[in-house]
């Protein structure tokens, strides 16, 4: 068991991601709750998504920034060394050749914090997810 030193909640996983106190109501609030060195990275990712698909509904779902109203188009989450961009299995298959060099899981692409965010590539994936 791991006990959060800030809020004293107990978790099965060490350093379990959670909210100490009130959950954020917006993506901007979520970004401000992240570690200060990573806030700029998440803000840039949020801006790239918003620029790629303007007017898309933004919300927090499953404790993650989520884009899309009835159907989720994309989501992202903070991990220790990377951001996970959840784009779905079809997008992973469609962009397989372009994703060489990136770690991917079934429906997510991992972008390492210590590398620049590939903004135009992210925008292309996000647009494709929105259109398909």
Instruction: Assess if residue 51 is contained within a domain.
Output: yes
Residue 70 has what pLDDT?
86
Instruction: Assess if residue 15 is contained within a domain.
Output: no
Measured over the CA atoms of residue 87, residue 90, residue 93 and residue 96, the dihedral's sign is: negative
Q: What is the pLDDT along the chain (132 residues), one digit of tens a residue?
A: 889 888 888 888 888 777 777 778 999 999 998 989 899 999 999 999 999 999 999 999 988 999 998 899 999 999 999 999 999 999 999 999 999 999 999 999 999 999 999 999 999 999 999 999
Instruction: Assess if residue 17 is contained within a domain.
Output: no
What b/e sequence results for 85-96 when a residue is b if at least 16 CB atoms lie within 10 Å of its CB, and e otherwise?
Answer: bbbbeebbebbe
Residue 22 has what pLDDT?
75
Domain count, the chain: 1
Q: What is the CATH number of the domain that holds 57?
A: 3.90.1150.200
Domain span at 65: 24-131
Instruction: Assess if residue 33 is contained within a domain.
Output: yes
Instruction: Assess if residue 94 is contained within a domain.
Output: yes
Instruction: Assess if residue 13 is contained within a domain.
Output: no
Instruction: Assess if residue 1 is contained within a domain.
Output: no
Instruction: Assess if residue 56 is contained within a domain.
Output: yes
Q: pTM here?
A: 0.85
């Amino acid at each position: 068991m791991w006990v959060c030193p800030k809020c004293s909640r107990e978790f099965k996983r060490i350093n379990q991601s959670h909210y100490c106190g009130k959950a954020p109501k917006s993506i901007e609030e979520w970004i401000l709750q992240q570690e200060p060195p990573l806030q700029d990275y998440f803000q840039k990712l949020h801006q790239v998504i918003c620029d790629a698909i303007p007017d898309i509904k933004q919300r927090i779902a499953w404790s993650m920034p989520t884009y899309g109203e009835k159907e989720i188009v994309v989501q992202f989450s903070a991990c220790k060394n990377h951001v996970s961009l959840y784009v779905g299995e079809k997008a992973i298959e469609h962009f397989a050749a372009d994703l060489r060099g990136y770690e991917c899981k079934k429906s997510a692409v991992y972008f390492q914090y210590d590398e620049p965010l590939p903004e135009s590539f992210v925008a292309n994936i996000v647009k494709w997810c929105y259109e398909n």
